[in-house]
């Protein structure tokens, strides 16, 4: 049974699963590879912690969402967070703030001509990585992948009500 370790990056607010390592820490190439990704553009490394997880191997970690979620919750609570990992909340808060700024810059309209327009489509900045891995471009036309800044704007509820009214859901 191969034990695991969790690498928490406090700056990125991410968690990575690493296999356990016995031996001289200077020879832990898996850890070095994982840590190398966590640095600022100036080369300064992020702050993080390494947690050994006893009694859980990689197979059990990947096959049991319940165990995985409980361990992540406990570890992040030790780091001062609750519920989901903090980066999730930070990302949503950033999107909400950006949407509010957009709405206010338009003088708080009751309708928006740019609602769910291509200009407001949120696309991941992974074009270079996808190309390097030989993957196709991110599919903007796939409705299951489409997320808009508008989804975090107060105007969304107004537009949802209009759609429901057209469908005859209000009587």
Digit-coded pLDDT (tens) for 141-165: 887 778 999 998 988 888 888 888 9
Q: Cα dist. 134→11, 34, 117, 126, 165 in Å?
A: 29, 22, 29, 12, 45
Q: What is the pLDDT, as a whole number, of residue 67?
A: 86
Contact 4, 59 (CB under 8 A): no
Reported as a single tens digit per residue, the pLDDT across 100-132 is 999 999 998 988 888 989 999 998 888 888 899
Neighbours of 38 (CB within 10 A): 17
User: Cα separation of 38 and 10, whole Å?
Assistant: 10
Reported as a single tens digit per residue, the pLDDT across 53-96 is 888 888 888 888 888 888 888 887 787 765 566 667 678 878 98
User: Cα separation of 61 and 69, whole Å?
Assistant: 9
Reported as a single tens digit per residue, the pLDDT across 26-58 is 888 998 888 888 887 777 888 888 888 888 888
Q: What is the pLDDT, as a whole number, of residue 99?
A: 92
Instruction: Name the pTM for this structure.
Output: 0.49
């Amino acid at each position: 049974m191969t034990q695991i370790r969790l690498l928490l990056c406090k700056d990125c607010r991410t968690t990575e699963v690493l296999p356990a390592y016995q031996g001289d820490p200077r020879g832990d190439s898996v850890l070095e590879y994982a840590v190398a990704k966590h640095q600022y553009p100036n080369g300064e490394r992020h702050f993080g912690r390494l947690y050994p997880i006893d009694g859980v191997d990689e197979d059990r970690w990947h096959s049991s969402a319940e165990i995985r979620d409980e361990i992540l919750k406990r570890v992040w609570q030790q780091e001062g967070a609750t519920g989901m990992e903090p980066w999730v909340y930070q990302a949503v808060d950033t999107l909400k703030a950006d949407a509010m700024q957009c709405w206010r810059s338009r003088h708080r309209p009751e309708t928006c001509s740019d609602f769910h327009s291509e200009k407001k489509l949120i696309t991941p900045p992974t074009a270079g990585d996808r190309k390097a891995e030989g993957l196709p471009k991110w599919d903007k036309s796939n409705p299951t992948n489409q997320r808009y800044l508008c989804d975090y704007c107060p105007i969304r509820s107004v537009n949802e009500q209009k759609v429901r009214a057209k469908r005859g859901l209000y009587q």
